[in-house]
Structure 1
Amino acid sequence: MQRESQSYLSEARQIIRKTPNLIGVLVVYTGVLGLPGFLLDNPTHWSQGLTIVAMIAHGVFSLIVYPVIYGKYADIAVDQKQRSWNDILRNDWWNLFVVNIVLNLPVLIIESIGVVMETQFQLPKLLVSSACSLFGIYAIPLVFIMKERVGSISLGVKCLLGNLSFSRYLVFLTLLVVFVGFAISSPPKSLVLGHLWSFVSLVAAMAVVVIDLGVFVAASLILVDKLAVGFGAQKV
């Protein structure tokens, strides 16, 4: 009997629950990354220093922590021993960096045009971001599984488009992550509500990280299970 994508999500949830050390790092770093906005909305005499620290942490998270944690979960999905941070960074970091740039290039172009024209293309940006995130559902896990760049993107897109119905739960959760991300990036103008919004946004960002990780682990499990029977060439 063929498994539904929902069962892979359930398995992914169990894996995440069994690795509190890894998911804990992601959640804590997300909280740190959210400090700049929270501190700017709630200034104190020491908030400027913490904001600088949080911004530095943002760079560390994006370039080091994120690839390593996701790489370790990919190792778990393929049922192999978790590699060291050094091994993951040496073997997968550049491939992941390139794939992320390629997938998000349309968003970067829209943002650049918006800066030049001094306007915000919120709806186009939302739609393009949604499409880019959907294409990354399988492409990002494939970076760790295939150890390739172009091949991961092409096969990842093919897997999604050829198995769209099967992947509907992953698609829904991915779109949820994108929409929540856009929602928390537009705070209300009210000062009182703004303070509350900063806190709510911080909590929402932490929840989004867990959801996004769940999609990644589930997609990795699906790929490992289906690639052996030609997942990229036929519907599951």
Structure 2
Amino acid sequence: MATLFIADLHLHTEEPAITAGFLRFLASTAREADALYILGDLFEAWIGDDDPNPLHQQIAEAIKSLVDNGVPCYFIHGNRDFLLGKRFARASGMQLLPQEQVLDLYGRKVLIMHGDTLCTDDVDYQALRARVHQPWLQTLFLALPLFIRHRVAAKMRAGSSASNNSKTLEMMDVTQQAVVDAMEKHHVQWLIHGHTHRPAVHELTANHAPAYRVVLGAWHSEGSMVRVSETDVELIPFPF
């Protein structure tokens, strides 16, 4: 048996192929897992659990079916769906986790997170992240009518895209020191995250010993998962 990790599906109605691929994954590969962890950005945008988007109900029902078949599902918020709340969690059967979580997997201690907090060179993004994660601002936003929330979210996505076009790939990637600091804070030699859309297995040194950072790929033209078993940690791309 094995534990599976995925991230950065960015599900939305304009990309039905990705949704179909995820539904097949839940109905097949994921059914054989000990557990499934979704490390953020499951959705392209999330403006509140009260959004009646049929896609959200479809995904909640599919994840709930997986959970009902004995595979627990866990979720860490991403930068796109950080407002996903308890109502959707109940509907889907997912368990919400904090932004950093340490797991004991088959004798390995593994730190998991979305990964955006590791991109410390992107000062503008980190400042924006700090603002939008203020509880009072989130409460205020969620109290707005849905049509206004849609407009605000669309404006923020457009602004994010324009801002990213002016940044280098290096600036938007993680910084090595932030990675080491996180791994040493939690006393782990393994880290799994998403966010950067740059799938790879990186070797480094942390806690004065060899360590490994495993980066999930985004679900653009194919799926991406990390499979952790008793014998191996594998980064696996697969067709939808």
Q: TM-score, normalised by structure 1?
A: 0.30
Higher strand share: 2
Structure with more relative contact order (C-alpha pairs < 8 Å, separation 6 or more): 1
Q: TM-score, normalised by structure 2?
A: 0.29
Larger Rg: 1
Higher helix share: 1
